[in-house]
Amino acid sequence: METQTNKVLFLKGFVKLLKELQADVLLKACDGDEKAAICAHMIILSARSEVFNKFFESDNLRLRPGWKQPLSQS
């Protein structure tokens, strides 16, 4: 029973981490509709996709006002 409680607490913490307020990337379609934007996390996208990893390492990022520049890995 205690193990299940720990798993539930872990998952709740992970869900909290993934909420929009914790996101550091806003993905938008070409039309630029803010309502259709998806909040995401660079570290998760980079870990799961070589395309995103290369993109985030480039200097061509357009940052949302108030968001910090990602750290360079070089």
CA distances from 1 to 5, 6, 8 (A): 6, 9, 11
Residue 65 has pLDDT above 90, yes or no: no
Q: Is 25 exposed, middle or buried (0-12, 13-18, 19+ CB in 10 A)?
A: buried
The pTM (predicted TM-score) of the whole model is: 0.51
Q: What is the pLDDT of residues 11-45, one digit of tens each?
A: 888 777 766 567 788 787 776 666 677 788 888 89
Q: Quick one: average pLDDT of 49-56?
A: 89
The residue among 64 and 41 whose pLDDT is bigger is 41
**Residue 43 pLDDT:** 86
Residue 3 has pLDDT above 90, yes or no: no
The domain locations on the chain are 2-57
